[in-house]
Amino acid sequence: MLFDPRPKENRKEIFDRDKEIEAILEGMREYPLTLLIGIRRIGKSSILRVALNEFEGIGVYVDVRKLYSSGGSVSQTVLVNELRNIIVGRGKMGFLRGFSLESVNIGGIRIKPRESNFTEVLESLNLLGDRFNRRIVIAFDEAQYLRFYGSKGGRELLAAIAYAYDSLSNLSFVFTGSEVGLLHDFLGMDDYSSPLYGRIYEEVEIKPFSKKLSTEFLQAGFKEVSLTPKKEEIERAVSELDGIPGWLVEFGFHYWKKRNFDDALKLTMRKAHSMIQEELSELEKRSPRYALILHAIAMGLRKWSAIREYLEAKSGPVTNARLSTLLKNLEKMGWIKKEDRSYAIVDPVVEKVIGGK
């Protein structure tokens, strides 16, 4: 169902993303590395899950946010144990269900006990690919959090993936990220000092819906639940929420349940406010000035000089170099974009929440 707020796993539940799904599947088949990028709430996780379910080989889905939230870092032990639980599985999760979590031995191929390191797990998976004659894809969702892996900014993990790229032919990797610049910086395919420097990869970008597609999405979703909202209600919803599928789903779900446009829009904005404030709180831990810059832009102060004046009025002097770094980081994290020497917030709902509109 289009208005189901949970991540989708079936292509029929996703609207007008066939091209993107096929591109990811092609990447899984033909490239050792595939990047799936797009801003927050654009639907990357759902599209990835659908592609993994349709993939002819074996798909392993890892939500890196879960690993990071376990302690503010990503340890090798946590990653290896998560992979083991997914591979061997509990309930319906694993593709080797029924075997001990401590050790798996099939035809001489052994996934070792918990002291195994990440490279050893990759080698075991590569052997399993040989055994089953199937390609294995490991997909890291919100992979920019892998920069918190280990004590060297994730370089040990990148070195293991570079080794797999060169030597383990049955493995492929997919990395998704909403903080697109940070993901590119972390992987470092264009950085000579990175273990992945110079590697060939595929990149698939998920873009917001156009106004036309947003309208068609809402109409298709309401048809599924046998509702026919007024034309002006759909037009206003599209105008308020733009083409971000996550917000459109939220609105459609609440309209379906409440049967009232104003209530549905209020509930959607209330949820947006809660989610965005939580994200801003995390952002402020990096620097309180990030939130001040976003507030300035949301108020309509889009030029460099206006942003600087506002920032200095609120937090004291700031050098040109420091402001440039702050703005560039917000771009990399997917919060803002630069257009014609001015800045804008990428997600219009985020702009409304931050600007108090």
Annotation: CATH topology of 210-286: Helicase, Ruva Protein; domain 3 (1.10.8)
CATH 2.40.110.10 fits 287-357, yes or no: no
- The pLDDT, as a whole number, for residue 128 is 83
Q: Which of 83-97, 215-229, 260-274 has the lowest mean pLDDT?
A: 83-97
* Structure-token pair, residue 357: 């509109």
CB of 174 closer than 8 Å to CB of 27: yes
Q: What are the distances in angstroms from CA 133 to CA 120, 125, 136?
A: 19, 12, 10
Share of the chain above pLDDT 70, in %: 91
Domain with CATH 3.40.50.300 in the chain: 17-205
Q: Which of 98-102, 186-190, 283-287 has the lowest mean pLDDT?
A: 98-102
Task: Supply φ then ψ for residue 214, to 5 degrees.
Answer: -60, -45
State pLDDT tens for residues 324-343: 999 999 999 999 999 888 99
Domain with CATH 1.10.8.60 in the chain: 210-286
d(CA 241, CA 41): 12
pTM of the model: 0.87
Neighbours of 271 (CB within 10 A): 18
Name the residue with tokens 């050790």.
103
Name the residue with tokens 């620097």.
287
Return the CATH number of the domain spanning residue range 17-205.
3.40.50.300
CB of 24 closer than 8 Å to CB of 172: no
